[in-house]
Amino acid sequence: MPLYKIKLIDRQAIAIQTIKFVFEKPLGFTFKPGQYAGVTLINPPETDAGGITRRFSILSSPDDTELAIVTRIQSSAFKRVLNQLPLGSEVKFAGPTGTFTLHEDQSIPAVLIAGGIGIAPFYSMIRYATQHRQSQPLYLFYGNQSIQHAAFLNELSDAQQNHSLFKLIATMDTPDSAWQGEHGYITSTLIKKYISDLAQPNYYICGSPVMVTTLQETLVEMGIEEEKIRVEDFPGY
Ligand SMILES: Cc1cc2nc3c(=O)[nH]c(=O)nc-3n(C[C@H](O)[C@H](O)[C@H](O)COP(=O)(O)OP(=O)(O)OC[C@H]3O[C@@H](n4cnc5c(N)ncnc54)[C@H](O)[C@@H]3O)c2cc1C
C-alpha cells in the first residue's frame, strides 16, 4: 500500500464534536469513492493504549484537489493530538485501500445506510456521482441524534436539489421542533416507505459496529439477499 507524508492544511468544526481535517493531496494520488487510509501521528506529544494510527474513510471526491477526513472527537490521545495538531504539521497517510465501493452497473440502484459519522464514505460516493451526473439512482438513509449532530446535512440537501437521481432520507432520534424530516432510527418500515422494489438495489451500511450489525440483520429479515448487502463498520463508536 502506498505511504505518504502529508500536511494538515485546514480544520473545520462541522457538527457537534465533529471535525473535518483537510490535508494536502500528494501528486498523482487517486482513489475510488468509499476507500479509506491509515493516518499515523508523527512523534505525538501523548499516546495511549489505542496507539498512534487510525483508519479513516476518504471524505473527498477523487476530483477534489485536497484530501479530507471527518471524525467525531472522543477521549483518545490520538483524537486529542489530531485535534490540536498545528496547521502545516505532517502525518503519515497509508492508502488508498478497501473495497467498500459502489457496484459498477449503473442500472442497479444503491441504497446507502449511514449512522452518524458513517456518512464519510457515502459523502465521497455521492459527491462524485453528482459531479459526474451518473445515471445510478442513489438513496441515502442518514440517521443522527439531532440536526446539530448531522454532518453535511445542508450539502446533502443541495446535492438532492441538483441531482434528481439522489434521494436523501434523513432521520433524527431526538429532533428539535424545527425538524420536518423523519423521526427515530432507520427501520424496516422507513426503508419500505422509500424503496418500492426491495429486491432491486444493492445495500451499503456504514456506522458503529452495533448499528451496522442491527441494520444488516434488519435487511436480511426483510428478505434482502445477503450478497446484496455490503458493510463497513467503524470500531470505537
Ligand atoms: C475501514 C474503516 C474506516 C473508518 N473510517 C472512519 C471515519 O471516516 N471517521 C471516523 O471517525 N472513524 C473511522 N473509522 C474508525 C476509526 O479508525 C476509529 O476507530 C474511531 O474513530 C475511534 O477512534 P478513537 O480514537 O476515538 O477511539 P479508540 O481509542 O479507537 O476507541 C474508543 C473506544 O472504543 C473501544 N474500541 C476500540 N476498538 C474497538 C473494537 N475493535 N471493538 C470494540 N471496541 C473497540 C476502545 O476500547 C475505547 O473504549 C474507520 C474504521 C475503519 C476500520
Question: Which DSSP string corresponds to 122-184?
Answer: HHHHHHHHHHTT-SS-EEEEEEESSGGG-TTHHHHHHHHHH-TTEEEEEEESS--TT--SEES
CATH of 110-233, one of 2.30.31.20, 3.40.50.80, 3.40.470.10, 3.40.50.2300: 3.40.50.80
Q: Grid coordinates standing for 143?
A: 440517521
Residues with CB under 6 A from ligand 1: 36, 50, 54-57, 69-72, 74, 76, 78-79, 98, 117, 120, 232, 234-236
Cα–Cα distance between 129 and 106 in angstroms, integer? 10
Q: At which residue does the C-alpha cell 470500531 appear?
A: 235
Ligand 1 centroid, distance to 157 Cα (angstroms) = 28
Domain(s) of CATH 3.40.50.80: residues in the chain: 110-233
What per-residue confidence (pLDDT) applies to 1?
A: 87
- The atom of ligand 1 lying closest to the CA of 54 is 17
* Protein residue closest via CA to atom 44 of ligand 1: 236
- C-alpha 211 to ligand 1 mean position (Å): 14
Mean pLDDT in consecutive groups of 10 residues from the start of the chain, 237 residues = 96 98 96 98 97 98 98 97 98 98 97 98 97 96 97 97 96 93 97 98 98 98 98 96
- pLDDT for the residue 72: 97
Ligand 1, atom 46: closest residue by C-alpha = 236
Return the CATH superfamily for domain 3-97.
Translation factors (2.40.30.10)
C-alpha cell at 185: 432510527
Q: Which 8-state DSSP code applies to residue 120? A: H
